[in-house]
Amino acid sequence: MKITSRATWVWSSIGDDDTSNHAEVISDLDVDLTNMVRFHEAFQYLDQTCLVFERLDMSLFDLLEQREWEHRPLDEIRPVAKQLLVALDALKGLGVLHTDIKPDNVMFVNRKD
């Protein structure tokens, strides 16, 4: 679950600030074709927005830390970069700009050693 007091994406095509509507739009994407995390639900708790996603294996940050920040060969980097670009392209198609891209937010479904 992600809990936030601010959105981590910017909607250029949908003018309102209804996070649950936005999350539903994203949930309509085919997760297998777009490399997006599977969205389950959104709700408000006090002044926080809570987004519930599928449970994933580990973040890119955790993997890099586990591997002691060693340089990775291009054949390991290329598939991750390609999947990230596919996901960003899917968001672009919805008029969404993700504003918090960082290794902590790049997640692996099934990590391979």
Q: What is the pLDDT of residue 75?
A: 97
Instruction: Please determine, looking at this structure, whether the domain spanning 2-108 carries the CATH number 1.10.510.10.
Output: yes
Active site members? 100
pLDDT tens-place string over residues 39-89: 888 888 888 878 888 888 899 999 999 999 999 999 999 999 999 999 999
**Which tokens go with 69?**
């920040």
Length of the chain: 113
Q: What is the DSSP code (8-state) at residue 57?
A: S
Residue 18 in this model has a pLDDT that exceeds 60: no
Higher-confidence residue: 77 or 21? 77
The pLDDT-based confidence of 37 (bands split at 50, 70, 90) is: confident
Q: What is the pLDDT of residue 8?
A: 56
Please answer whether residues 59 and 104 qualify as being in contact, where contact means their C-beta atoms are separated by less than 8 angstroms: yes
Residue 6 in this model has a pLDDT that exceeds 70: no
Higher-confidence residue: 1 or 105? 105
Please answer whether residues 97 and 10 qualify as being in contact, where contact means their C-beta atoms are separated by less than 8 angstroms: yes
